Amino acid sequence: MSRQKPRFVSRYFIKMLLSYGVVIIIALGLVFAFTTSRVVRTLTEKESRVDREIVQQVRAYSDGTYKTVQGIFSRLYMPLSYYDNYSIVDYLNPRKLETLDRKAKRGVISSYLQDICAANAFISDIFIVDYGDRDVFFFSSVAGRDTSLDYDFYGRDLPGGPVDNKIRCVPNHIPEYINVSSVNDYAVISYCIYLFDENAVRFNRPLGYIVVNVWADHFKEAYQNADSLNGTLFVVDGDGMTLFDSSGAMAGTPFDGSRFGIADLDAAASNRDWVVNMLRSERTGYRFMNVVSRAVIRREADAIRRSLYGVLVVCIALAMVISMVSAQLFSRRIEQLVRKMRALEHGEFDGYPAAAANDEIGYLEQSFNNMITSLDKHIQTAYVYQLKSKTAELKALQAQINPHFLFNTLESIRVNALINKDAETAKMIHILGNLFRWNIKTRGMFVELHEEIEYASAFVELEKIRYADAFDVVMDVPQRLMTLGVPRFILQPLVENAIKHGQMGVSEGGVITIGAEEREDGTLVISVADNGRGMDAETVRHIEARLDQPEAEAEPGDQTSIGLSNVHQRLRILFGEPYGLKIESEPGVRTVIRIVMPARRKEELERYVQSDHRG
């Protein structure tokens, strides 16, 4: 019959592959999700950190610029050594320089303004309006740029309120006072202040004013060396006007924060769609803000995510290939193990090589091989045991009902029949019939102790009639031991030996004692003792040596019967060492033969001999 290949091996391969795949996908998926989330968070933090650094740089640059402008305004009141220790304001004060002609005055002021422009690249134009001489002193760092002759510099006040000595700022604008025919196409931020007599107490009669125009986009200088600027940078003054917008969309207009999710400029913060970094200058009151759309960060994250997708796909593909190879190797080895099991089902015990791998499956293979070896040994042992048991049982029956025994028994019946007529003969025939019925009806390997004692007692009844009550039998067996199990036909051969050999030559006063005890180690000891002639130590050793030779024939004149060897061998086959018969004897005093075996009930003994407990 052909063997069907077990399908569950293929299912095992699929299960292993699916398990590997699920674990790999989940693990790599979690790693991917964690990595991308970490990347987005890192990019956001990095962007926020870079933008904050740029905002700080712009604020520092703006504060420096403003400080420079303040310094320019302050130095107008300082005496200049190279101008005869007169300040620029002194040149505007008619009370101090009444004799100075206008040409010299223009030369000094124009030269001074030129020096300021040359020293500060962020200044596009600078001019001073002199109310006294109604003159304008103008200098621009842009060639061809000049003031308009039609502009009234004297009839207009500076923007921002009343006349005082405070600096004013005019946000991004294209000045009207620049001649349209000259260069006039870029916006400036104007810083201006009224000029007064240095000893003035009341600031209501200015000598004139000064205007410093700086490039509206001069804030770029603060971050032009930065690696990158994502988003839009804003500089907003205290009135909410946009001084600078890196995108150029809002410069010179009120700042509109609603498009960035900013309701209050003072509380500007990052939100769901925008990353906002804002700092405020204590010096100028300006707010410096960088606004970056999170979509920009997500685009960068998506680029990294796409790269990770590629790596993830490669890793999954590689892991699945490795998993397939690994699962195939494992399933193939398990399939080999299943084939061994299938072969064992068909009774094949040979041809199993040792496990090649020193791992868990190799351990299973080696354990299976060991199990097969043990099972084969057990089957062989059980088979041999059955043969020996049948042979021993047959010999026991032969020993119990041998021709000599039948001859002597029938002779006793004949003699008693002649002497006692019917009664004695009937009794002996009845006992003999019970013995034959016992041999016929008793089945199984084990019986209870009381059954074995009943059989031996029936045998003793016959023997007492035969020997004319030359001996007595004493039973010393506790009632609690009567239900323990013993092998069949182990007590009668010992009683027969005690009668035949122990009571040989004794006409009366013979005593045979049958006893039993259970020791603390779980051993049952059944003893048959007689007060006959006994044996010397050499004879005992000879008999014990003969007990271990079940196949040997009895020697002529041997003192022991084949029944003792039969009982000893069966005990050894059933229970192994150290169980069996133990013989003690003293010449002219007594002989004791003990049966040593496990103390268990009949059912327990049947299970016991099928287990690994016996040797």
| pLDDT score of 274 more than 60 | yes
Contact 249, 112 (CB under 8 A): no
Lowest model confidence (mean pLDDT) among 378-382, 389-393, 523-527? 389-393
CA distance 476 to 473: 10
Q: Where are the domains of the chain?
A: 67-220, 442-609
Mean pLDDT of 98-107: 78
- Listed residue (230, 292, 279) closest to 59, CA to CA: 279
CA distance 466 to 468: 6
Residue 141: both structure tokens together: 């760092």
CATH 3.30.565.10 for domain 442-609:
yes
Mean model confidence pLDDT for the chain? 79
Question: What tens digit of pLDDT does each residue of 528-577 get?
Answer: 998 888 888 888 888 888 887 755 454 544 544 567 888 898 888 888 88
CA distance 19 to 36: 25
Question: What tens digit of pLDDT does each residue of 408-435 get?
Answer: 565 566 666 667 666 666 667 667 666 6
The model carries a pTM of 0.50
- Name the region of 258 (left: φ>0; alpha: ψ -120 to 50; beta: rest): alpha
Sequence letter at residue 178: I
Question: What tens digit of pLDDT does each residue of 48-95 get?
Answer: 788 888 889 999 999 999 999 999 999 999 987 776 788 899 888 877
Contact 155, 146 (CB under 8 A): no
The share of the chain scoring above pLDDT 90, in percent, equals: 22
Q: Class for domain 67-220, per CATH?
A: alpha beta
Between CA 375 and CA 383, with CA 381 as vertex, the angle to 5 degrees is 100
| pLDDT score of 145 more than 70 | yes
Residue 193: both structure tokens together: 């202040």
